[in-house]
Amino acid sequence: MTGGTVTLKDTSAARLLCVETQLGICLRSWFAATSSEKQYHARNDPCASSQTLIRAHSWRVTLRGVIEISRQDRVFILTGAGISAESGIPTFRGAGGLWRNYRFEEVASPRAWQRDPRLVWEFYSIRRRVAAAAKPNPGHFTLAQLERTLQDRLFLCTQNVDSLHEQAGSRRAVHMHGELFKSRCDRCDRNPFDDTETYDPPADIPRCACGGQIRPHICWFGEVPYHLDRIFQALSEATVFIAVGTSGVVEPAASFVAHVRDRAQSFYVGPEEPANACAFTKCFLGKSGELLPSLFGPQ
Could you say whether residue 181 binds ligand NAD (CB under 6 A)? no
| Phi, psi (degrees; rounded to nearest 5) at 179 | -135, 130
Tell me the window of 41-49, 89-97, 126-134, 194-202 that interacts with ligand NAD (CB under 6 A): 89-97
Site string for ligand NAD, 6-45 (x = CB under 6 A): ----------------------------------------
Nearest to ligand NAD of 199, 268 (CB atom) = 268
Residue 115 beta carbon to ligand NAD: minimum distance, rounded to whole angstroms:
15
Helices (H), the chain: 35-44, 104-107, 110-115, 117-133, 138-150, 164-168, 228-237, 256-259, 288-295
* Closest approach of ligand NAD to the CB of residue 173, in Å: 13
Residue 30: CB minimum distance to ligand NAD, A? 22
CA distances from 148 to 27, 122, 143, 155 (A): 34, 37, 9, 12
Q: Please give the size of the binding site for ligand NAD, defined by CB under 6 A.
A: 30
**In this structure, what DSSP letter does residue 40 have?**
H
Cβ 1 to ligand NAD shortest distance, Å = 25
Q: C-alpha distances in angstroms, 142 versus 33, 38, 228, 289?
A: 27, 31, 25, 9
Asked whether the beta carbons of 266 and 241 are under 8 A apart, the reply is yes
Q: Which is nearer to ligand NAD, 4 or 274 (by Cβ)? A: 274
Cα gap 3→75, rounded to integer Å: 9
Give yes or no for a contact between 24 and 50, defined as CB atoms under 8 angstroms apart: yes
Cβ of residue 166: shortest distance to ligand NAD, in angstroms?
A: 16
State which of residues 69, 75, 77, 108 lies at the interface with ligand NAD (CB under 6 A): 108
> Rounded to an integer, what distance in angstroms lies between the CA atom of residue 40 and that of residue 34?
10
Binding of ligand NAD at residue 245 (CB under 6 A)? yes
Region at 52 (left for phi over 0; alpha for psi -120 to 50; beta for the rest): beta
Judged by CB under 6 A, the stretch of 25-33, 86-94, 181-189, 258-266 that binds ligand NAD is 86-94
Write down the catalytic residue from 140, 177, 217, 259. 177
177 is catalytic: yes
Strands 52-55, 15-18: pairing is unpaired
Instruction: Decide: 269 and 292 in contact? Cβ < 8 Å.
Output: yes
x/- track of binding to ligand NAD for residues 135-174 (CB under 6 A):
------------------------xx--------------
- Tell me the window of 29-37, 44-52, 91-99, 189-197 that interacts with ligand NAD (CB under 6 A): 91-99
Span interacting with ligand NAD, options 12-20, 75-83, 165-173, 197-205, rule CB under 6 A: 75-83
Q: Which stretch binds ligand NAD (CB under 6 A): 46-54, 116-124, 204-212, 217-225?
A: 217-225
DSSP state of 213: B
User: For residues 252, 255, 259 and 265, what is the CA-based torsion angle, rounded to 10 degrees?
Assistant: 130
Under the binding rule (CB under 6 A), the answer on residue 123 touching ligand NAD is: no
Contacts of 246 (CB under 8 A, 6+ apart): 78, 79, 80, 81, 82, 159, 253, 254, 270, 274
For helices 288-295 and 138-150, the axis angle rounded to 10 degrees is: 30
Residues labelled as active-site residues: 177
User: Which residues contact ligand NAD (rule: CB under 6 A)?
Assistant: 80-83, 85-86, 91-94, 97, 104, 108, 159-160, 177, 219-221, 245-247, 250, 270-272, 274, 287-289
